[in-house]
Chain A
Amino acid sequence: MEAVLVAAGEVGYREASVRAILEHSGGHRAQFYRHFESREDCFAQAYATWAQRLCVDLLEAAASAPGWEAGVRAALVDLFRFVTRRPAIARALFVEVQIAGEPALARHEAMVERAAAALDAARLEIEPDLAPPEATGVFVVGGIESCVCEALSAGDPNRIWEALPELMHLAVGSYFDKEAAEAAFEEASIMLERDRATLLGEAG
């Protein structure tokens, strides 16, 4: 199933024909259609497997960090590592999924909701009368996704690291306040400066 994601990530979903997928995976058309109803079905199933795996990794990274804010930062670092190490798969999961038909899109929406629900853990630390809008989780996930899409679409996945402070500001500012957002921006900038060589080196 990885083949459909690699093919879509490399040449785009519109061009990723069953033939192109089979060039990556080997095998025959008949075998393909024994497993999948269509290319759309194949993409949706592959998406579900990989997105689930990525989601679990990010949630584990967040859970092993001390506190919500450190958890978001750890999850972003983990996500950026994935984007830079597996750009073709990342491109399929974040960019091509948008055009790969309803079954994949429905699974993508479920993933967004799941990530938004995880971010909503911040609400436990917020007084009820200061609660942020209901759409906050989806808004923040959308901001992160659009940033990932931009870097991948530009063919320069490494560029995503530069957005770490801004995305921390977006996440923290959307749930808490301006002061907390600016502190999170500062902290992420310092971390990025300190670990830049390691982070970018890993990506290579």
Chain B
Amino acid sequence: MTRLRLVATAPEGASTAELGPMAPVRLPPGRHGLPADLVRANQRQRMLEAAAAALAEQGYGRVTAAGVTELAGVSSRTFYQHFEDLWACLLAAYETEAARLCEAIEGACAAVGVDDGDGARVGIAAALDFLASEPTVARLLSAEPPPQVTVLAAARRELAERLSGMLRRVLAEGGTTPLPGLERRLIGAALALVAARSAGGDPRPLRELEPELSELLLVSL
């Protein structure tokens, strides 16, 4: 359904405020008097979402800039005004979604407080909830990018490091200090499991993975 949402024009009578500042809905064509910044932000957001959708559909082996522009409903010229190439667009999408995932986890952990002692489980559930509700994002964040595209490989490494740091912090709050480097191996395994479970295109089982993943991530630490 992502494809339909991406190219749909705004419903009649709906203001951009109602749609949200980053709603990836195609703006009406032609002269509409909307501020240039808003148009640019809208285009960019649509292309980022389209990049994740194109990647989920075609994988790193086949995804192309043309596929992204078609899905986003923008011209190739517009695409290259925003991004140097396909990888720059995928990198921007990756970084945006990685930041959103980390915010979702941190938000959920902050809400339960440090005394709860269950911070890790809450964080894991929040991560899986986030990924399950966004199938294309789950694929984008968990799939191994081609190592030749060093910026993307580095972004994935950075996400894994950040998640490892979060796991280490939340465990430390509960009084556990894992052996150095161990949480990095566990996060690698967790990302691979998420990739395997979301590869079929149906990310709903990800939500059901919480008890298993919590046990696997925490039992040996």
Contact = CB atoms under 8 A, between A and B. Distances in A.
State the majority secondary structure of interface residues on A: helix
Contact of A99 (B59, B182, B192, B221): B59
Contacts of A12: 146-148
Contacts of B216: 132-133, 135-136, 139, 174
A102 B75 CA distance: 29
B139 to A, nearest CB: 11
Nearest to B183: A166
Contacts of B195: 142
A172 B219 CA distance: 11
A166 B212 contact: no
A83 interface: no
Question: Which of A15, A152, A172, A178 counts the most chain B CB atoms within 10 A?
Answer: A178
A98 interface: yes
Nearest to A144: B189
Interface string A166-186: 110110111001100110010
B61 A13 contact: yes
B188 A178 contact: no
Given A135-B213, A145-B192, A146-B191, A95 B144 contact: yes
Contact of A109 (B179, B193, B199, B213): B199
B59 A143 contact: no
B15 interface: no
Interface in B115-153: 143-144, 146-148, 153
A148 to B, nearest CB: 10
B215 A146 contact: no
Interface string B187-201: 011111101100100
B212 A135 contact: yes
A100 B61 contact: yes
Interface of B: 59-62, 143-144, 146-148, 153, 157, 179, 181-182, 184-186, 188-193, 195-196, 199, 209, 211-213, 215-216, 219-221
Closest 10 CB pairs of A and B: A173-B220, A142-B192, A143-B189, A146-B188, A153-B147, A133-B212, A99-B60, A99-B61, A12-B148, A98-B144
